Amino acid sequence: MNRVGSSRGDRVSHFLVPALPVARVAWLRVVLATFALVDATLITNHVLEHVHIGAFWRPTLVGRVLHLPAPTTVTASLSLAAMALGVVLALPRRTRYLAGWLSSLGYLSWVLWSMGFGYVAHDHMAIVVGMVVLLTAGRADFGDQRTSRAAGWALRCVQVATVMTYAGSAVSKCVRSGTPWAWANGAVTVWAVTRRGSTLGDWVGRFPAFLVAVQWTVLVCEFLAPVALWLRGKKLYVAFGAAMLFHLSTWLTLGIHFLPTVVCWAAFLPLERLGARRRVRPVAGEPVREPV
């Protein structure tokens, strides 16, 4: 029994804290830090515009726990500057870890300010988790092909937060509608395409039965999103492609994007291959030299 229990514990441990490439952490940090700056300047850019109505800012639970004050022109500008500096410093090797702290602290405060003005966007959950937990992986270089469980734990946290964004959305749909079939058989998508309007949305709105089928497909896929944690190879790429196709369709029909969640799918991809050294074909007659 002890051996069986130990074996099961090892499997759970290796699943939750796998040994993954350190280089993937380095690449993912750059991806998320760059998008964080894009998000702050193009998507959640209302923070600076609302600093004059700080009395209407209501911090979320995390903001209250951290005792985050309402944003001001100075603090919001410093947050933006920290994110911009974090992207710049992410390139030199010696300043990458410092860059991670600047980007993470700047973005965390920015998102908490943004969500405190009345709208909590669930598509930001995974990227906020990623910006924080990637710091725990320590120093990481783009070409470091070693594996570590510290890197694996951080990447797994981002992966879990990504897929649970979809599962949580499905649960929310069911809770608000009372039952899963009440939402899936409803006219929520018809209402959405009618209200938002787009060329493609207006066209598919003519086929309500098709939209009901789409709603069932979306609901089932959202509930099954955590399965991606167990997928490998081609099956994982199929799941990734399906998620990208879903987000592309919602953008084309409803004008809704989930870019903060989309970029977090990068945690599933073998980004470490971007920094792998390419093998050079040896000249005839010369010995093959493996890189150190």
Residue 58 and residue 115 in contact, taking contact as beta carbons nearer than 8 Å: no
Q: Exposed, middle or buried: residue 254 (CB in 10 Å: 0-12, 13-18, 19+)?
A: middle
* pLDDT classification of 276: cutoffs 50, 70, 90: low
Please name the helix (run of DSSP H) or strand (run of DSSP E) that holds residue 140, with its range, or none.
Answer: none
For 32-72, the pLDDT digits (tens) are 999 999 999 999 999 999 999 888 899 999 999 999 999 99
pLDDT value, residue 186: 86
Local structure of residue 289 (DSSP, 8 states): -
0.75 exceeded by pTM? yes
d(CA 153, CA 156): 5
Q: Would you say residue 285 has pLDDT above 80?
A: no
The Cβ of residue 124 has, within 10 Å, a number of other Cβ atoms equal to 22
d(CA 10, CA 6): 6
pLDDT value, residue 21: 92
Q: Which residue has the tokens 């649960």?
A: 171
Q: Exposed, middle or buried: residue 229 (CB in 10 Å: 0-12, 13-18, 19+)?
A: middle
Residue 264 and residue 161 in contact, taking contact as beta carbons nearer than 8 Å: yes
